[in-house]
Structure 1
Amino acid sequence: MKRAMLDCNIHDYIEVACLYKIEVMLTLKDGNIVKGIPIITITSKEKEEFLTFRVKSLSEDIDINLLSIKFMEAISYNNYFARISFI
C-alpha cells in the first residue's frame, strides 16, 4: 500500500517557515487550530512525517502529523507565503 505524501512545494513552505521561524496558524483537518512557530520536520519509524511545533502556552513542543494539516497561515509578515492549502 502506498503512503500518502505531501507535494514537494508544500514541503518547501514548511521548511521556509522552520528556517525563518515564521509564526503561523495551523488549521487541522479535525477543526482544531494551533498557533506557534514551526521548528523542524521529522519522520517516524513508520515513515509518517511530523512537524515539531512550538506553542507559546505549552511547556513542551508538540509533533503534528503533516497529513493532518488543512491550512498554514502566516501570522508574522514574510516574503514567502500568506496562506498555504495542504488539501
Structure 2
Amino acid sequence: MNECAISCHLQDYLEIACLYGYRVKLSLNGGEQVEGKALDLQTIDKREYLLIEGKTPHRIELNQLKELQVLTSNAKFTEVNF
C-alpha cells in the first residue's frame, strides 16, 4: 500500500483532472503559479508528481500544491485547496 504525499481524497481530484485533460492553474506553496493541461501523476523515488503540459512542461511535487483551479468549462469540479 502506497502512502499519499497529500490526502488521498485530494489526490483523486488530480487523477480526475488528468483523466479528462483539464486545463488547470496551480498555486504553489512558494507563491509560484503554473498553468497548463494536467497530464499524469508519477511516482519517482517515493515522491509523487503532477505532470503539466504548458508553454514548458512541468513536474510538480504534490506536497508543493496549495490550490488548483480548473480552467476547463463544464468540469466536474472547479477548485481544490490542499
TM-score by length of 2: 0.89
- Find the counterpart in structure 2 of residue 10 from structure 1: 10
Deviation at 1:4? 7.1
Matched residue count: 80
Map residues 29-44 of structure 1 onto 2, 5 A cutoff: 29-44=29-44
Could you list the runs of 4 or more consecutive aligned residues of structure 1 that deviate by over 6 angstroms after TM superposition?
none
Q: CA RMSD in A?
A: 1.5
Structure 1: runs of 5 or more not aligned = none
Identity %: 30
Deviations 1:23-63 (A, max 9, x none): 01000000011110111111112x110011101x22xx221
Structure 2: runs of 5 or more not aligned = none
- Greater radius of gyration (CA): 1
Label 1:73 to 1:7 Cα distance change in 2 as closer, same or farther (>3 A). Answer: same
